Amino acid sequence: MVARASQNPAHLRSLLAAPRRVHIVGVGGPGTSAIAIILAEMGHRVSGSDMRESETLARLRQRGIAVNVPHRADVVNGCDVVTASAAVPATNLELQAASANGITVLTRAEMLGAITPHARTVAVAGTHGKTTTTSLLTMMLRAGSSAHTTRGPSVAAN
């Protein structure tokens, strides 16, 4: 069994301090695609996979993120870290290959925990109103600050 990074909080905090090779299983989802973009902007070499082609995958490719369809076990070779969408079952062949090869495997929540020490972070959570609240925060930040990044599936463009 591979030791989980979440069992060692110091390791989780330092995991992304230097450029890494990161693979994201289920990268076509709204949360994981945003994570892929953030990691790439942080200087990590990011790849991903999903079950089917989508506009999201095309946008990721335009940003230089290598995306594979469908899932293949060999795409995790050479990776330092593998993470996955919450929708991806633990039986996924890429997750199984990563674990079998001793590659650090993180849940989506653990990956967010590894990212946040390296950037100012504002989180919006809840059952209802997240997109509206995020859009309002985005407009406020854009009006008063030039150093910010906003990620989410449906954030207003202006």
pTM over cut 0.85:
no
Highest mean pLDDT among 16-20, 44-48, 109-113: 44-48
CA distance 121 to 58: 27
* The pLDDT of residue 110 is above 50: yes
Output DSSP code: residue 4. P
* The pLDDT of residue 147 is above 80: no
In the prediction, which pLDDT does 52 show? 96
Contact of 60 with 50, CB cutoff 8 Å:
no
Interval 84-102: pLDDT, tens: 999 999 999 999 999 999 9
* The pLDDT of residue 2 is above 50: no
H/E stretch holding 57: helix 55-62
Bridge partners, 83 (sequence order):
24, 106
**pLDDT (mean) for 103-110:** 93
* The pLDDT of residue 122 is above 60: yes
What are the chain's domains?
Answer: 5-118 (3.40.50.720), 122-158 (no CATH)
* Short-list 75, 88, 105, CA closest to 26: 88
**pLDDT (mean) for 23-48:** 96
* The pLDDT of residue 3 is above 90: no
How many residues make up the chain in this entry?
A: 158
